[in-house]
C-alpha cells in the first residue's frame, strides 16, 4: 500500500495551484469546474488535490500541521529560498531547525510549508 494523494481544502484553488507549480515543481494535470478542484502531481508521483472550501472563511489547520519538502542539499534549500524571496514571497532565510537546514513559509490557503535538507 502507498499513499496515493492528499486533498487540501483551500479558499483560492487557482492561487494555491500556481504556488505549488511555480515554487515547488508540481505539474498541473487538470482543473475541474471553475477552479473548484485542481489536480497536481510531483516528480515522485504524489498527487496533490486542491479543492474549494465548502464553507466561508479560511481553513483552520491544526498546529503544527504543515507540508514538508526535502531537497538534496543545503545549497538547494538556500537557492529556493533566495528565488522565493526575489519573487516577492515573505520567507525568512534558512537555518538549522530540528536537525535540518530549513525554512518555512505560508502558501495560499494558509498552508504552512517546510523546505529542508537533512544530512
d(CA 51, CA 35): 8
Neighbours of 92 (CB within 10 A): 10
As a whole-number percent, the residues of the chain with pLDDT over 70 amount to: 94
Domain 64-119 part of CATH 3.40.50.11740: no
Domain boundaries, the chain: 1-54, 64-119
* pLDDT tens-place string over residues 75-88: 999 999 999 999 99
pTM of the model: 0.86
| Per-residue confidence (pLDDT) for residue 34, from 0 to 100 | 87
Q: How many Å apart are CA 20 and CA 49, to the nearest integer?
A: 11
pLDDT in tens, 4-48: 789 998 889 999 999 999 999 999 999 998 888 999 999 989 999
**Integer angstrom CA distances of residue 54 from 36, 58, 109, 112:** 10, 10, 13, 20
pLDDT greater than 80 at residue 67: yes
CATH code for residues 1-54: 3.10.180.10
Amino acid at each position: 500500500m502507498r499513499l496515493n494523494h492528499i486533498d487540501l481544502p483551500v479558499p483560492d484553488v487557482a492561487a494555491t495551484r500556481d504556488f505549488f507549480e511555480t515554487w515547488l515543481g508540481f505539474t498541473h494535470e487538470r482543473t475541474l469546474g471553475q477552479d473548484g478542484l485542481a489536480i497536481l502531481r510531483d516528480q515522485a508521483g504524489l498527487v496533490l488535490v486542491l479543492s474549494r472550501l465548502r464553507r466561508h472563511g479560511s481553513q483552520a489547520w491544526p498546529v503544527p500541521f504543515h507540508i514538508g519538502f526535502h531537497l538534496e542539499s543545503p545549497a538547494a534549500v538556500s537557492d529556493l529560498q533566495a528565488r522565493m524571496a526575489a519573487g516577492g514571497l515573505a520567507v525568512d532565510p534558512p537555518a538549522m531547525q530540528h536537525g535540518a537546514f530549513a525554512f518555512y513559509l505560508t502558501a495560499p490557503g494558509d498552508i504552512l510549508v517546510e523546505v529542508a535538507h537533512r544530512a
